[in-house]
Amino acid sequence: MKLNGKNGKSDTNLEQIREKTDLAVSVENLVVHYETSSETVEAVNSISFSLKKKRTLGLVGETGAGKTTAMLALMNMVPNPPGRIIEGEIRVNGLDMRKLTPAQLQHVRGSEIAMIFQDPMTSLNPVLTIGEQIGESILLHRNISKAEALKETQKLLERVGIDPERYGEYPHQFSGGMRQRVGIAIALACNPSVLIADEPTSALDVTIQAQILQMMRKLKEENDTSMILITHDLGVVAEMCDDVAVMYAGHIVEYGTLEEVFNKTKHPYTEGLFNSLPNINNRVEKLQPIQGLMPDPANLPKGCAFAERCPYASEACRENPPETHSFSDTHLAACTAYQDPDFRIGRNK
């Protein structure tokens, strides 16, 4: 832990309330709702997961599954109103994020936990130079002069593959891929121990995607960063992650190591995700999408949220919330069908 922040006081405070732990992140029973006068959107419904130091957790699921909301909650940054963390415990490096004061939160954000956002076209401030935006992070958390911060900024630019002399240019002068490199430089400016990457490549061209991912992995290894990678691209997960959590309608439906989730798939939704991948060996084969749509999170069914789309669903699935079954110390799936010990899903890819 760096003790050279500007807010020297809150630093010492933080050390007093920090719990000793091996986990970079732990989340217990997190519930986040968006409440408006007309409806309540149940975005995240009692999820629990943890991230060990130096590992990468992939958070997979379709748009609207609550992935981004869960990660904003991790930084205690759910937009309020209308968003509200209803319950749950969120710990980052042993700090209870829900109990920190605004000043302590500002100190932790950026220096211990940082985030790379999805769309680099909108996540950079158009009227500030990229140098100002990267340097801002450095000046906030480190007690150094502007001239030193500029040097640090230029070093960072070099590390993310941008000509350091371009620090005085504005976001509109860069392409999408280059802007995402700036976004990464902002997130990495103070060597955070936890990095959240929210679909960092989904707004980019395929050719640029690989470059960015490769660079992120390199920087992560250089800095011993723990990372949570949000994506809906299973290929990216296979490439980057150690552990995988599959989210559906605000729940984690399957959770395990990469090997377990990919090769010993248990949840019918995860199965559906794999089955819907195009088959590169048989290009004439029709795609097999999961039928139907995710339920409206403002109006979730009382039973399993996936039951309507699930080929194995029984009456019990529609009536009661799914039970969580564990298949190893690390592998969990929330599916009632495993009450029957002989139940097997039929993945065909």
Partner 1 sequence: MLKYVIKRILMIIPVVLAVSFIVFFIMDFVPSDPAVTALGDGATEEQLEYYRETHGLNDPLVVRYVRYMGGILHGDMGTSYANNQQVWDLFFAKFPNTLRLAVASVVVTVVLSIPLGVIAAVKENTWVDTVCSTLSFIGLAMPNFWLGLLLIMLFAVNLGLLPSTGADGFASLILPAITCGTGNMAALTRITRSSMLDVLKQDYLRTARAKGQSESKIITHHAFKNAQIPVVTQIGIQMSTLIGGAVLTERVFAWPGVGAFLVDSIQKSDFEVVTGFVIMLAIFVSIVLLIVDVLYAFMDPRIKAQYARS
Q: How many CB atoms lie within 10 A of CB 184?
A: 25
Examine residue 25 and tell whether it contacts partner 1 (CB under 8 A).
no
CB of 65 to partner 1, least distance (A): 19
Residue closer to partner 1 (CB basis): 187 or 332 = 187
Determine which residue in the list 33, 107, 179, 251 makes contact with partner 1, applying CB under 8 A.
107
Residue closer to partner 1 (CB basis): 193 or 336 = 193
**Does residue 81 have a cis bond before it (omega within 30 degrees)?**
yes
Residue closer to partner 1 (CB basis): 117 or 255 = 117
Determine which residue in the list 119, 148, 242, 308 makes contact with partner 1, applying CB under 8 A.
119
Query: In terms of DSSP H, where are the helices of the chain?
Result: 8-17, 67-74, 102-108, 130-141, 146-159, 176-188, 206-223, 234-240, 258-263, 268-275, 315-319
Residue type, 165: E
Determine which residue in the list 186, 194, 204, 228 makes contact with partner 1, applying CB under 8 A.
186
Residues 122-151 that bind partner 1 (CB under 8 A): 122-128, 133, 136-137, 140-141
CB of 18 to partner 1, least distance (A): 17
* Residue 155-174 contact track with partner 1, rule CB under 8 A, x = bound: ---------------x-xx-
Note the Cα 168 to chain centre separation in Å.
31
Alpha-carbon distance of 68 to 12, in angstroms, equals 31
Residue closer to partner 1 (CB basis): 98 or 264 = 98
Alpha-carbon distance of 198 to 47, in angstroms, equals 18
What beta strand segments (E) does 297-347 contain? 324-326, 332-334
Residues 189-248 that bind partner 1 (CB under 8 A): 189
Query: Which DSSP category does 328 fall into?
Result: S
Examine residue 109 and tell whether it contacts partner 1 (CB under 8 A).
yes
Report the length, in residues, of the chain.
349
Residue closer to partner 1 (CB basis): 117 or 306 = 117
Backbone angles phi, psi at 111, to 5 degrees: -95, -35
Examine residue 117 and tell whether it contacts partner 1 (CB under 8 A).
yes
Examine residue 26 and tell whether it contacts partner 1 (CB under 8 A).
no
Q: Which helix (H) or strand (E) holds 116?
A: strand 113-116
DSSP 3-state percent helix, strand, coil across the chain (nearest 5): 35, 20, 40
* Residue 316-335 contact track with partner 1, rule CB under 8 A, x = bound: --------------------
**Which strands sit side by side in the sheet containing 95-96, from one edge to the other?**
40-52, 23-35, 83-92, 95-96
* Residue 71-90 contact track with partner 1, rule CB under 8 A, x = bound: ----x-x-x-----------
Examine residue 115 and tell whether it contacts partner 1 (CB under 8 A).
yes
Q: Which helix (H) or strand (E) holds 102?
A: helix 102-108
Residue type, 200: P
Name the residues that contact partner 1, by CB under 8 A.
Answer: 75, 77, 79, 102, 105-111, 114-115, 117, 119, 122-128, 133, 136-137, 140-141, 170, 172-173, 183, 186-187, 189
